Structure 1
Amino acid sequence: MSLGKVSREIMGHIMLIGLDRVAKRNAFDSHMIADLSLALTEYENNPELRCAVIFAHGDHFTAGLDLVELQPKIPQGIFNFEEGQVNPWGVSGRHRTKPIVVAVQGFCYTAGVELMLNADVVIASEDTIFGQLEVLRGIMPFGGATVRFVQAAGWQKAMPYLLTGKTFDTQTADKLNLLSEIVEKGKQLDRAIEVAQEICIAAPLAVQALLASATDAVTEGQMFAFQKMDSYLKPLFSSQDAQEGVRAMLERRLPDFKGK
């Protein structure tokens, strides 16, 4: 039986994380779920890494959950990660603080849609087919789609797909506000890396503070986010990176941020 895992590659300040269970169309079994959590935790814990790109080997991003393998294990808490480990879907446990770009192609079903909904930037190949199929399997989405899909698309646009499990193409996903960009088939990873490189030019502490503030607004509300903003902003003004940002502006060059 093909056991799932994820590949890891460091490219400068970027960590490339690849779903690697090609024989099963990258369907998530317990092994790949665990390894993805470990890889994201490695990314989160490494101060030299500023952005992660999640992609998939083979023709498909993922066929979703391998329910045959997972069903007997779910009651044991296969999605309850150890303290200190990042939950790839961000619905419980430790949450990441650094940005993630996701590149998708082929089938992108169930947990795959939810994985990209939990990302910050999504690059989709023009051939991608999406589906939140859980209701056709006798269950419901539990990786964030009941919240994030509705937030992104709006109730009336999201429910026809959540309630029926019907699939939809890349153009529809774009209209539903689930994607950042659509690219030519086969170009999704290259474009995702380009975006990640652009993110890595920015000050990493500022990027993390921005993500935290935006997350506050989505999860806790606008007033909470405004009230907490100073707690993120003040440390940035006293950082070495803020000084470097001013110097770079005056010297008309790209900044060289150190995350300090």
Structure 2
Amino acid sequence: MSIDLHVNEEGVALITINRPERRNAFDLEHYQLISEAWEQVRDDPAIRVSVITGAGDKAFSSGADLKSYIGRPTTMSDFWLTQKDQLLNRGLEVWKPVIAAVNGYCVGGGMTLMLATDIRIAVPHATFSLAEVKRGIIASNGGTQRCISQLPYAIAMEMLLTGDSIDAVTAERWGLVNKVVPPEQLLDEAMRYAKRIAANAPLAVQAAKELAVKAPTMGLATGLRMEQFTNRLLSGTADAKEGALAFQEKRTPRFTAS
């Protein structure tokens, strides 16, 4: 049982939720471990892109391991520890792109995790649901917030209010995932996306992601102005000069995130 993280020579971090015997559910220990993994992705300059998947062939993640929370004492003061063991889907700012390789059940907290990623590849037998209302609670850690912004209103409300699941074909049709591929192609396809992104200028990639994610809260005029500021900053970087030079010399650029 663990959260495995490996970084290849191209700067792609592969994170694996390695708890297949519990459908890759998160107990307290694994929530802490995934938080540490996201912090490493955020802070390690050698990492340019990350791919996250689940161990085995049955589940990406089934979310919180409810059995581990039953009977656990809590204090009201914990409610205000909003930055403790921060998660990607709870608001940790990771501007490096994240790709989800969804290899099976993607439900509850597993789906809210996927909703916080940028590109999603799924297998045909993957299923997606936010079933918390069937258990007397709501889909938190971004469940209600990202679902309604990433899906058409009626589809998002159907998922949130009924708690019913949708299959991979339906998820692709509504744009919840980018592509559905056979299981044996899943990681290869996710890594192909990751390598294409990792080949681009890291500072520009991260800036593009941050501006896109923040666009709904900025308004168009502010967003347009922030694009100008950002491009002014990026134009003075070594990567911008390298990009122009490589284009002139008709060669692959060698970006250094500087």
TM-score, structure 2 as length reference: 0.92
Cα drift, residue 196 of structure 1: 0.6
2:4 maps to 7
Distance 1:51 1:30 in 2: 26
In structure 1, stretches of 5+ residues that fail to align are: none
Cα distance per residue 1:55-101 (max 9 Å; x no partner): 11112111221112135559454995646x65221x34x41121111
Cα distance per residue 1:104-140 (max 9 Å; x no partner): 0211111111111111111111110111110011100
Matched, 1:244 2:223: no
Distance 2:168 2:24 in 1: 19
User: Which amino acid is 1:244 matched to?
Assistant: E
1:197 maps to 195
1:114 maps to 112
**Residue 206 of structure 2: SS of its match in structure 1?**
helix
In structure 2, stretches of 5+ residues that fail to align are: none
Cα drift, residue 227 of structure 1: 2.6
Distance 1:117 1:5 in 2: 22
Q: Which of 43, 47, 50 does residue 48 from structure 2 map onto?
A: 50
CA pair 246-166 structure 1, distance change in 2 beyond 3 A = same
Q: Is the 8 Å Cα contact of residues 130 and 159 (structure 2) preserved in structure 1? A: yes
Distance 1:222 1:157 in 2: 26
**Residue 149 of structure 1: SS of its match in structure 2?**
helix
Larger CA deviation: 137-146 vs 199-208 = 137-146
1:88 maps to 88
2:101 maps to 103
CA pair 179-232 structure 1, distance change in 2 beyond 3 A = same
TM-score, structure 1 as length reference: 0.91
1:65 maps to 64
User: Which amino acid is 1:88 matched to?
Assistant: L
**What is the total number of aligned residue pairs between the two structures?**
254
RMSD: 1.9
Distance 1:119 1:129 in 2: 17
User: Which amino acid is 1:55 matched to?
Assistant: T
User: Which amino acid is 2:88 matched to?
Assistant: P
User: Which amino acid is 1:17 matched to?
Assistant: I
**Residue 172 of structure 1: SS of its match in structure 2?**
helix
CA pair 223-70 structure 1, distance change in 2 beyond 3 A = farther
**Residue 46 of structure 2: SS of its match in structure 1?**
coil
